[in-house]
């Protein structure tokens, strides 16, 4: 059975050339910026594969996400710049709500380093461990202390 990928990549394990190819393609400092074929060749793909790199699922998916992000940002800008008043001078509540939601979203994501972040409480740490409360800790300590007293009596 032949191995078509020299790096052992499959649908679960990424090929390091994929990251390198994408980074070369999107980096303005790269000599292959915006040229998918040359970026793929520079990343180590064979020329025959490099010619069709934009039709591969992983590349097309990354390209779609990049383009959809640009479209989304453009739409948000358009919505933020809409006039709140209609032709009669009345405030359009629908547009006001959309702009308020967008303003909250933008400040909580893009402005998080300026103090606009939203804090979300959770009982699980970033690595999936459950956080122990003070009450749980005190209960566990008391149980251990009481258990020690019972063992001494035996």
62 lies in the same domain as 104: no
Q: What is the mean pLDDT of the chain?
A: 83
Mark which of 42, 69, 96 sits at the end of a domain. 69
60 lies in the same domain as 88: no
Tokens 């979300």: give the residue. 120
CA distance 141 to 73: 53
61 lies in the same domain as 95: no
In a domain, 56, yes or no: yes
- Average pLDDT on 109-129 reads 69
b/e sequence 62-87, b meaning 16+ C-beta within 10 Å = beeeeeeeeeeeeeeeeeeeeeeeee
CA distance 22 to 61: 11
Tokens of 8: 């052992």
48 lies in the same domain as 18: yes
38 lies in the same domain as 64: yes
Q: How confident is the model at residue 154 (pLDDT cuts 50, 70, 90)?
A: very low
In a domain, 12, yes or no: yes
- The count of domains in the chain is 2
Q: How confident is the model at residue 97 (pLDDT cuts 50, 70, 90)?
A: very high
- Percent of the chain past pLDDT 70, that is, above it, reads 82
What residues make up the domain containing 103? 82-112
107 lies in the same domain as 62: no
């Amino acid at each position: 059975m032949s191995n078509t990928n020299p790096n052992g990549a499959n649908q679960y394990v990424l090929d390091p050339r994929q990251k390198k190819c994408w980074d070369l393609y999107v980096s303005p400092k790269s000599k292959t910026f915006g040229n998918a074929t040359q970026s793929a060749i520079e990343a180590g793909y064979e020329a025959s594969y490099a010619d069709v790199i934009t039709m591969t699922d992983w590349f097309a998916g990354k390209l779609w996400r990049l383009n959809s992000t640009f479209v989304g940002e453009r739409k948000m800008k358009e919505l933020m710049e809409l006039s709140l008043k209609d032709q009669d001078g009345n405030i359009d509540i629908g547009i006001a709500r959309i702009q308020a939601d967008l303003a909250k979203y933008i400040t909580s994501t893009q402005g998080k380093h300026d103090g606009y972040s939203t804090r979300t409480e959770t009982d699980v740490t970033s690595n999936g461990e459950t956080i122990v409360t003070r009450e749980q800790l005190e209960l566990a300590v008391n149980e251990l202390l009481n258990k020690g007293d019972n063992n001494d009596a035996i």
